Structure 1
Amino acid sequence: MDRPPKVLVVDYESELYHEKFKNAAKGLPKQSIDYVVSLFPIATWIHRYNIAWLVRDLIAGITVGIVVVPQSMGYAKIAQLPPQYGLYTAFVGLMVYCLFATSKDISIGPTAVMSLLVGQCITHITATNTNITGPEIAVTLSLLTGAIAFVIGLVRLGILVDFIPLTVVSGFMTASAVTISIGQWPKLLGLKSVNTQDPTYLIFGNFFKHLPETKLDAAFGFSALIFLYGVRFLANYLGRRYPKYQAHFFYISITRNGIAVIFGTLIAYLINIGKTTSPISILKTVPAGFQAMAVPRVDAETISAVGSSLPSAVLILVLEHVAIAKSFGRINDYSINPNQEIIAIGFTNIWGAFFGAYPSTGSFSRTAIKARSGVKTPIAGVFSGLVVILALFALTPAFYYIPDAVLSAVVIHAVSDLVSGPTYLKRLYQVSIWEFLVFVAAVVVTFFTTVDYGIYASVGLAILILLFRIARPRFYSIGRIPLSSPDLDPSLASVAADTYQKCDYGTVPEENQQPYLYVPDNDPSLGHLAEPLPEGILMLRVDESLTYPNSAYITDRIISHCKAFTRRAQGVISKGDRAWNDDTNPVKDAARAQLPLLHALIFDFSKVGRLDSSGLQAVVDAQTALNRYSGHHVEFHFVNIPDPSVRLNLIIGGFASQPVQNRLYCINSGDSYSGTNDENHQPNEIMSLPSPTKDDPAHQGYHSPAYSLKTRQNKSSTLHLNGSTIDTRHSHSSSTSTRYTAIPLPKDRYHFFHWSADNAVRAAAVSLSIREELQYYP
């Protein structure tokens, strides 16, 4: 029987660009077909539609429809539009979305946040452009934001959403809820002297200033609020008390908005009998049907007027919708396609512009109701749309006497759920003070200005923090802890030692068989147990990819850290040769003379997922500076390289076959040494450390391996074992008794790349001992 293998040599063959293009061209026809099919997800499930789904969708759709009618009219008032425009917006979103949807739960229509933005935009534009009407502004916004979102989805740029943290979404939704609620207070009490289009802080102050002017509307408003919160609280309480009837109480709770509007309207009608002027503010005439249906009139003047609001409008449109869709997808165990959702919301708003709608997006409250109603498919939105049509064509005469105070109560009750509670804020503060500041920025800026500026401030601050984290990654000096230390778990040390002994790579000195745990020196739990690496060897870890934003910073940190723990090759420098910013003195010189020369620097690359040209140059520059500082070549070793592309870039940078000194080569070859070694000239580099060739992995210094591992990037992997080939692409087989092949710790084809920190330190220590034996150091 053959002897078990001792060395596993790993190498990655890079896929050439022409091969990538060739493979992409082969798959282009199929990808094109898949792309077109993906634009209409309804085609993948409509053929499975059945009666059971229909019943559930019908119930959920009607339930949402009952809620959306009063909410839409209230939100239209926030948008500074007549109430029927809220119904137009709700109808289009509900009817069209199902064609493109990948979320069964989400409900499209007017929302509080978008209505607030549209209202502020209309107020600002009509104040300076009297020839542009509010509906024209709303339609233009719907068409342009929809077109922009549609293009973003088509070209698959939904990844941009991932750059906006959830904190920003929570911040501007909370800010909008507070702004909307305070803006509804004057209408709730019938205060006509308060301008609800002022910044929120002014509305807040003027509300209390004009409080003595409270009208009869307050009775309707407060009664509606008490009723809405009372029914919800009672339904939730009884649902918990009697779980058997929880569904019944849920549907009773859902009807509270409609009941409040119906009773408020009935009472308002009764008190207006025989009066020519209503004692309270009422909705009055709501035109039946789609009176605003037409081809949108979009001219340069209107586009220029709404241009400043487009970025924030698109941001809200996409962020709110995708965030809600993802949230309910996780809750109900299905995945959504963000790009397809952006296409859906884009097309919905383009189509909505022809019906006189203003921008619509996903609604959190109505989506939650739809999900709890047991919806099965996006077709439920069609049934909600039919309820809106019924309201538009049959119920508009009854809308005349709806009290504005009752609609304000409905709006305040709806947006209160958007406010982030104390528990969320406490957790956010504990997790990250910076994210908490992003949240606060969104709320504060919106409160004192507008929702546009609040969004820009919070998004800008979030991106600034992200860029700062990328440009200034955490940087650690690594120490090591012997795993046989009595301060650690003896059982763990025993297991580690046994594992190490099984990975036999040849003759290893007894003193080097000690396994170690490598931790940052400043680790709060284990840092005090860490001991330094052998003299002249340092280890560093960077917790971020090495790219152009942080390359200069990383170079400086590497050099300064190495200089702090090692000495200069020249030793003491005379005053005349000393740099102007060198503040050393005899005492410091004497202390630094005791430091070792830097021999090797080991990088833990486990967190470096990408290495671009700037990052590679940073590592090269650091090595060049340290070579000059140390007076000889400093070895750079790399541990735990996570990606083959990072490894390839290091090879391109020359770190796979770094030079060794002539004397080392000569002593091994028997030749004479005649190199130079002054401060301005590196030792002659006539060879690289021995590396195996592709044809012979055992070439020059490797023990002949019984097998080797070669992988092609993005391809399957094969393991060559004693002449046999084993496919390693699958982690398990179809057999019920799966057997796994135990392998020793792999060894990279190149000597300076390692799969364990112990091996890296050991390799550096071996070359250091050779240097010391040859007395190469000055």
Structure 2
Amino acid sequence: MSNLDALEAEYGRGKQEEFRVSNRDAESLELENNFSQDKAKDAKPLLTTYNDNGSSPITHIAAYDESKVEFPDWYNTKIRPNVTLHHVGEYFRDLFPFLKWIHHYNARWLYQDLVAGITVGCVLVPQSMSYAQIATLPPQYGLYSSFIGAFIYSFFATSKDVCIGPVAVMSLQTAKAVSSVMANLPTDTDITAPIIATALALLCGIVSLGVGLLRLGFLVELISSTAVGGFMTGSAINIISGQVPALMGYSKKVNTRASTYKVIIDSLKYLPDTKLDAAFGLVPLFLLYAWKYTCNTAGPRLTDRYCKRARTAKIWRGVFFYSQALRNAVIIIVCTAIAWSISRHHKSNPPISLLGTVPSGLKDVGVMKIPEGLLAKIAPELPSSVIVLLLEHIAISKAFGRVNDYRVVPDQELIAIGATNLIGTFFNAYPATGSFSRSALKAKCNVSTPLSGLFSGGCVLLAIYCLTSAFQYIPKATLSAVIIHAVSDLVASYKTTWNFYRMNPLDFICFIVTVLITVFSSIENGIYFAMCWSVATLLFKVAFPDGQFLGRVEVTEVINPVVVDEDDSASSEGRIPSGSYSGSFTDEVPDYKLRCQTDIDGKASQAYETTKSLANRNKPNPSVRFHTKWVPFDQYSKELNPSVEVRPPPPGVIVFRPSESWTYINCSNLYNKIFDEVVRTTRKGQLSVPGSNGQKRWNDPGEWTPPKFLQKWISKSKGHKGGDADDIGAVVRDERPILRIIAMDWSQVAQTDSTGLQTLVDLRKALSKYADRQVEFHFSGIISPWIKRGLVNTGFGTINQEHADESLLAGHSSYHVVRSAAPKDSDEEAQGNSLYTATGTNTPFFHLEMPDFSKWDLGEGSA
């Protein structure tokens, strides 16, 4: 290896400052004398030479002019590759996801889909009639919605687990819409509740399909899951309270469309009017919860405790699982049989409230006729209805996708919801969306594909044609019990509520307030509050970011250290002394000073002896080097051990890290934050002369100096003697440094805009005027070429006559050099590690990472 290569290698290890004339041999002198300015640009990317008197090292790096990104670059990178005939074809193929896997369908998938579909179908029939009751619609409309939803969703779905059909919250919202529209219609109108509900499904389907086709599903993400949980919990409480009057037999006396708290008060007020229906409501409700506990908790526990054979335990788990799945159907069948036995001879005046006649078959299939002006009357209810429809479905589908390890496409799910509700209007369906309880049941049945919906829809269609004569004897109280039992799972438990507080107190407030608004006002107001809270929280975080001023510490990475307990006596000897090292990348630290402070393996005494012997030998470890790391002064961020003292930057340097993008929303706030810090830590470049009141500005008058005729009186009142009065008007010398450098870590700034950049320009002008000199603006960690382009176009980063002339870089120009493996196809001489300039030499104020300003020659105010 030549001496020149040795010099380069030593620089790569951070040792270049140790080389001086005294330890150069004849070969290095000859090489340096031959190295001229004409050949500097042809040198390798990193080379160390010396000046004429041989006293100071000079490092040469290869020039690298970094170009700005332009619109054609963005078009060729982002738009052009994604707008081809292939991508257009993929777009239309993605509208029917089943085409990608249907040719792989096999007998095993068929068996699992058949079992899951029939199991869910048995649950879907009673639930759909129950939810139609919530929507204030005849029961057959729930059946229509459930079977067509299960059929259509199978061909558009990207989720195998979700079951589409009537759900509790959407049924409640449909009832609200029906009630609101009916209140604005004349008494002699022929518009009925089913027509309004189907028209609502039409509008919801159009909006959902449009949002999905335009790939705008990301808008759904603007509402947090906490807000969704809040109005779903409030809605569940609303539904449960609204079913209590029917459960007890006095539903006609209570207005269940009123606010939840009023429904609860009225339900308690009419408790003395309870009828025989309570026996068909309370008993099934108790049995449903007891059944659920037995099959979900007690049964599996006993199986695990007493069944030693794995095969027997598996059989019992299967029995419990399918027993739980069929509990609703069994309860309704038993109660219907009892109701038939006591009501068959009293059809005109039954002793309990029955479901009534359910038409057989699909008698009203066809294109619906929308009365004139109906859609305009429904429009005010559309936003909240669409939000409920989409949020509930997307939340459920994404949850089961995460649990069962497959990817759900939100935009395609919106298309599936839209197509389901649009086609459902031909079958008099009302709005349908994903059901959590039925989706969980499908997932537990190990469903394989979305085609299981065909079997679920087939079960419902079979019930419509074959079982409607038996449906008329179903007790309404039993349906209310089924609804209460199903909806109670939507109420967030106290553990979930407490977790909201533990994770984020603001989310806890959002959840609680949303629930209260839903209970004491309406579900619509709860939804709108949840939306406004989510958007307001997002805007607040962006508009008032927690930007932080940074200080410096010296850090190093320790591989396989000996870990010693902090209370151990050895820790006081082995701990690195505070303030012992004014770090740079080249500092060498003895091994014994690198021990940590926690006992893991319980060998503290052995560690102590080891480190003590190392301390006695005091042999430096050349592989250990400290480098400067910039961290916040504010220990609230918990980025660093609070025991570590964070040193400020060198005098005249301020380092700032924004925590959000620099845009029109927050740029004024960030401007004020930086300027206030400059005023606090630095002095003006030109001091004002005492008595020059004419040069003072009203908004920045400075310290008040008393007039001369008051100075003697003030001196006497304070006990001054002699010439002390003359000192009263004297200017106290400000020892603070003059501002020289503003360094910004933009590693968290994802975007900026013209307003933000103009504010940055204004800040530069204001600070240069304050310091009475050109203030350097350095940027590090820029992650977007468009941010860099905007900064360069506004005069940052480069040498320019107006704001950054070459005098700013005199004595402290700084570049980062990267060591990288050479390409495999290069010649042999280039093989090995090659050195490259990391960022453009034409943008000397942009850095790969924050520079170590303590190494710079800053003149006045240097470290």
Secondary structure at the aligned position of 1:119 is classed as helix
- Equivalent-residue separation in structure 2 for 1:475 and 1:591 (angstroms): 33
CA gap of 1:745–1:521, structure 2 versus 1, over 3 A, is farther
- Equivalent-residue separation in structure 2 for 1:350 and 1:290 (angstroms): 17
Corresponding residue for residue 604 of structure 2: none
TM-score (norm 2): 0.77
Within a 5 Å distance, the mapping from 1:467-482 to structure 2 comes to 467-482=539-554
Q: 1:188–1:405: 8 Å Cα contact kept in structure 2?
A: yes
Corresponding residue for residue 568 of structure 2: none
Aligned residues: 709
Corresponding residue for residue 627 of structure 2: 515
TM-score (norm 1): 0.85
Q: 2:816–2:847: 8 Å Cα contact kept in structure 1?
A: no
Corresponding residue for residue 664 of structure 1: none
Indicate whether 1:241 and 2:333 are aligned.
no
CA gap of 1:592–1:123, structure 2 versus 1, over 3 A, is farther
Q: Give the C-alpha shift of residue 83 in structure 1.
A: 0.6
The letter of the residue matching 1:363 is S
Aligned partner (choices 398, 409, 428) of residue 337 of structure 1: 409
CA gap of 1:704–1:157, structure 2 versus 1, over 3 A, is closer
Indicate whether 1:17 and 2:71 are aligned.
yes
Aligned partner (choices 263, 267, 270) of residue 207 of structure 1: 267
Corresponding residue for residue 655 of structure 1: 796
CA gap of 1:491–1:337, structure 2 versus 1, over 3 A, is farther
Indicate whether 1:97 and 2:165 are aligned.
no
The letter of the residue matching 2:110 is L
Aligned partner (choices 114, 117, 128) of residue 72 of structure 1: 128
Indicate whether 1:607 and 2:748 are aligned.
yes
Cα deviation, 1:649-689, whole Å, max 9, x if unaligned, reads: 222222111458xxxxxxxxxxxxxxxxxxxxx89x76576
Corresponding residue for residue 568 of structure 1: 684
Secondary structure at the aligned position of 2:455 is classed as helix
Corresponding residue for residue 323 of structure 2: 252
CA gap of 1:50–1:436, structure 2 versus 1, over 3 A, is same
- Equivalent-residue separation in structure 2 for 1:119 and 1:297 (angstroms): 21
Secondary structure at the aligned position of 1:479 is classed as strand
Cα deviation, 1:271-311, whole Å, max 9, x if unaligned, reads: 11422411111101011112332212224411111101111
Within a 5 Å distance, the mapping from 1:145-544 to structure 2 comes to 145-191=204-250, 192-236=252-296, 237-243=298-304, 244=313, 245-275=316-346, 276-483=348-555, 490=576, 515-524=627-636, 525=638, 526=641, 529-544=645-660
Corresponding residue for residue 676 of structure 1: none
- Equivalent-residue separation in structure 1 for 2:471 and 2:796 (angstroms): 77
- Equivalent-residue separation in structure 2 for 1:762 and 1:644 (angstroms): 29
Indicate whether 1:756 and 2:828 are aligned.
no
Corresponding residue for residue 697 of structure 2: 579
- Equivalent-residue separation in structure 2 for 1:152 and 1:744 (angstroms): 48
Corresponding residue for residue 549 of structure 1: 665
The letter of the residue matching 1:79 is A
CA gap of 1:437–1:724, structure 2 versus 1, over 3 A, is farther
Corresponding residue for residue 624 of structure 1: 765
Secondary structure at the aligned position of 1:464 is classed as helix
Corresponding residue for residue 20 of structure 2: none
RMSD: 3.4
- Equivalent-residue separation in structure 2 for 1:689 and 1:605 (angstroms): 21
CA gap of 1:589–1:724, structure 2 versus 1, over 3 A, is farther
Q: Give the C-alpha shift of residue 188 in structure 1.
A: 0.7
Q: 2:584–2:852: 8 Å Cα contact kept in structure 1?
A: no
Q: 1:479–1:518: 8 Å Cα contact kept in structure 2?
A: yes
The letter of the residue matching 2:300 is G
CA gap of 1:752–1:261, structure 2 versus 1, over 3 A, is same
Larger Rg computed on CA atoms = 2
CA gap of 1:500–1:307, structure 2 versus 1, over 3 A, is farther
Q: Give the C-alpha shift of residue 267 in structure 1.
A: 0.9
Cα deviation, 1:442-479, whole Å, max 9, x if unaligned, reads: 21111122211110111011111111111111121111
Cα deviation, 1:181-219, whole Å, max 9, x if unaligned, reads: 011011110113111111111101101111111111111
Percent identity, aligned pairs only, is 38
Indicate whether 1:635 and 2:776 are aligned.
yes
Secondary structure at the aligned position of 1:289 is classed as coil
Secondary structure at the aligned position of 1:401 is classed as coil
- Equivalent-residue separation in structure 1 for 2:738 and 2:418 (angstroms): 63
Alignment gaps of 5+ in structure 2: 10-44, 47-60, 305-312, 558-570, 589-624, 706-728
The letter of the residue matching 2:796 is F
548-557 or 15-24, larger mean C-alpha shift:
15-24
Q: 2:798–2:845: 8 Å Cα contact kept in structure 1?
A: yes
Secondary structure at the aligned position of 2:352 is classed as coil
Indicate whether 1:596 and 2:729 are aligned.
no
Alignment gaps of 5+ in structure 1: 503-512, 661-681, 692-699, 710-717, 727-738, 774-778
Corresponding residue for residue 32 of structure 2: none
The letter of the residue matching 1:179 is N
Cα deviation, 1:240-261, whole Å, max 9, x if unaligned, reads: 3325222221111111000110
Q: 2:234–2:514: 8 Å Cα contact kept in structure 1?
A: yes
The letter of the residue matching 1:326 is K
CA gap of 1:580–1:218, structure 2 versus 1, over 3 A, is same
- Equivalent-residue separation in structure 1 for 2:512 and 2:524 (angstroms): 15
CA gap of 1:332–1:745, structure 2 versus 1, over 3 A, is farther
CA gap of 1:114–1:534, structure 2 versus 1, over 3 A, is same
User: Which has the bigger relative contact order, CA under 8 A and spacing at least 6?
Assistant: 1
Cα deviation, 1:591-626, whole Å, max 9, x if unaligned, reads: 782211101011111211112222222221111110
491-500 or 155-164, larger mean C-alpha shift:
491-500
Q: 1:484–1:493: 8 Å Cα contact kept in structure 2?
A: no
CA gap of 1:484–1:383, structure 2 versus 1, over 3 A, is closer
Secondary structure at the aligned position of 1:515 is classed as strand
Secondary structure at the aligned position of 1:481 is classed as strand
Q: 1:287–1:396: 8 Å Cα contact kept in structure 2?
A: yes
- Equivalent-residue separation in structure 2 for 1:740 and 1:61 (angstroms): 63
- Equivalent-residue separation in structure 1 for 2:473 and 2:374 (angstroms): 34
CA gap of 1:591–1:414, structure 2 versus 1, over 3 A, is farther
CA gap of 1:197–1:517, structure 2 versus 1, over 3 A, is same
Cα deviation, 1:322-379, whole Å, max 9, x if unaligned, reads: 1111100000001111111100100000000110001111111110000000100000
CA gap of 1:497–1:34, structure 2 versus 1, over 3 A, is farther
Q: Give the C-alpha shift of residue 703 in structure 1.
A: 9.3
Secondary structure at the aligned position of 1:529 is classed as coil
CA gap of 1:12–1:409, structure 2 versus 1, over 3 A, is farther
CA gap of 1:772–1:394, structure 2 versus 1, over 3 A, is closer
Secondary structure at the aligned position of 1:603 is classed as strand
Secondary structure at the aligned position of 1:281 is classed as coil
Secondary structure at the aligned position of 1:242 is classed as helix
CA gap of 1:220–1:254, structure 2 versus 1, over 3 A, is same
Q: 1:476–1:541: 8 Å Cα contact kept in structure 2?
A: yes
Q: Give the C-alpha shift of residue 516 in structure 1.
A: 2.8
